[in-house]
Structure 1
């Protein structure tokens, strides 16, 4: 359960803070956004933005925006090649610096996302969550979150979901700003970008109990 201070912060302060911070970030980073867009267009082609449906607050689906990091290379049968092949050196740079995430600032302005919260994952994962894991959708998804500053893609799915729910239960003004500063530190040192066995992160297949039932 979210404590009373957390409910007050979430209801009256968090959204205005998101709007102010994201607007200031868009203005301040507009030259970076422009340069990255030009480089993506030059190196990877069109479209510059990668758009994908993701579940947000109360599992409401929205369209999330990111800078494209992969090519559209396909095999002889017309199927997309594995991520490890399509993820170029330039794409890896965008991900390691989190520059690919910058268009999500516009999702924050729209109200789909927050500066801090559980990361929005794939729609196809929704049926795989247990009741505990579903609680990650009790708040808006974030540009960064507690799981990201605690290991990002280098920790297990179960640990990540536990951290997401811990954030839901302890959301606060001080906590959010602590995560913001830790996020900046993580981006600078480029920690936890990839899982050990995948170019990005292994797909979530549910916990052992959910896999057996499915």
Structure 2
């Protein structure tokens, strides 16, 4: 019941409420990025969604497009702007994804959507994670994010899909909020599955 119907209703209502709440920040960021960083405020990219259907994800742009003498983009750490770094650290760069939720392309909680070139990877763990809508945050993000290797991320994504519930979603959301604000006072380790010994 929760997985099929209730979650999508919660997502839509909460996304609409959050978008209205953050609308002043949304407008300010749209104005500030062109003024301070001198480029288009939005990052738009094709990503893999539910049932491997592609969709366009929206984020605030945090990096410039500077290239080296050979015409190749500079490393990411050299292209992130000062404003972009603030947007990433605060999580405000994710606000436009509320539009994806309102379009029923994403959820608040779920596996992070990958670029479309991952569709052709012949890996069962990777394919299985597309059984649900991708999310702004998920179990892999609160467990280790970029410090995790891909097989471990896929394992956590699939664990979430098999065990998702209202309470798990709430715990992941709270952990995400606490982490974004620099807190680590709440223990959510009972949510995270222990890897079985080989």
Distance 1:147 1:12, change over 3 A: same
Contact 1:97 1:190 in 2 (8 A): no
> Residue 28 of structure 2 corresponds to which residue in structure 1?
35
Structure-2-length-normalised TM-score = 0.88
> Residue 18 of structure 2 corresponds to which residue in structure 1?
25
C-alpha distance after superposition, 1:144-181 (max 9, x if no partner): 11111112222222211111000110111111111111
What is the aligned counterpart of 1:163 among 140, 156, 159? Answer: 156
> Residue 122 of structure 1 corresponds to which residue in structure 2?
115
> Residue 12 of structure 1 corresponds to which residue in structure 2?
5
Alpha-carbon separation, structure 1, partners of 2:4 and 2:83: 40
Alpha-carbon separation, structure 1, partners of 2:122 and 2:82: 33
Aligned residues: 184
Give 3-state SS (helix, strand or coil) of 2:139's partner.
coil
Alpha-carbon separation, structure 2, partners of 1:190 and 1:76: 42
> Residue 4 of structure 1 corresponds to which residue in structure 2?
none
Alpha-carbon separation, structure 1, partners of 2:124 and 2:14: 32
Residue segments in structure 2 that go unaligned for 5+ positions in a row? 185-198
Contact 1:96 1:190 in 2 (8 A): no
Alpha-carbon separation, structure 1, partners of 2:72 and 2:146: 26
Distance 1:78 1:190, change over 3 A: farther
Matched, 1:107 2:100: yes
Matched, 1:67 2:60: yes
Structure-1-length-normalised TM-score = 0.81
C-alpha distance after superposition, 1:88-136 (max 9, x if no partner): 2322221111111110000000011001100001111222351122111
Matched, 1:56 2:81: no
When the two chains are superposed, the root-mean-square deviation of aligned CA atoms in Å is 1.5
Contact 1:54 1:62 in 2 (8 A): yes
Contact 2:39 2:64 in 1 (8 A): no
Give 3-state SS (helix, strand or coil) of 2:69's partner.
coil
Runs (4+) of structure 1 exceeding 4 A deviation are: none
